[in-house]
Structure 1
Amino acid sequence: MIKTDELRGIIAKNGLSQTDVAKMIGITPKTFYEKMKIGIFGSDEIQIMIDNLNIADPMSIFFAQK
């Protein structure tokens, strides 16, 4: 389960919008919002976000326990 609130904070801290991140990982903004809603991204998408958003502790965000 992804901690979407923390991910939104990291996106904002990087001065980006969710639309910017959607383009970065190669999906439409609508698809990005849907993935945020259900809390599931593909491994390639996660890796791109980790690299481009400088996420220091990806395990706590992308692989969080309920």
Structure 2
Amino acid sequence: MIKVNELRGIIAKNGLTQSQVARKLDIVPQTFYEKMKKGIFGSDEISVMIKELHIENPMDIFFADDVT
């Protein structure tokens, strides 16, 4: 599971909304919100977010052992 709060912070830091990130992933915002709620994204979606959001340490966010 991912660290949702950290991902939200990175989205905001990039000046984007969750809806805008959803469009970059070619999914509707509601689907993005559900994935955020569950803390689970597919590997293709993770790859796009790493690139589009300029995430330097993806392991810390997307493959976290502790999701607090």
Unaligned runs of 5+ in 1: none
Residue 48 of structure 1 aligns with an amino acid whose one-letter code is: V
Matched, 1:18 2:36: no
**1:1-66 matches, cutoff 5 A:** 1-66=1-66
Structure 2 length as normaliser, TM-score? 0.95
Alignment identity in percent? 67
SS in 1 for 2:50: helix
Task: Give distance in 1, aligned partners of 2:51 and 2:38.
Answer: 22
Structure 1 length as normaliser, TM-score? 0.98
Task: Give distance in 2, aligned partners of 1:54 and 1:41.
Answer: 17
Q: Spell out, residue by residue over 1:19-57, the C-alpha distance to the aligned partner (whole angstroms, 9 max, x if none).
A: 000000110000000000000000000000000100000
Which consecutive segments of 4 or more residues in structure 1 shift more than 3 A?
A: none
SS in 1 for 2:61: helix
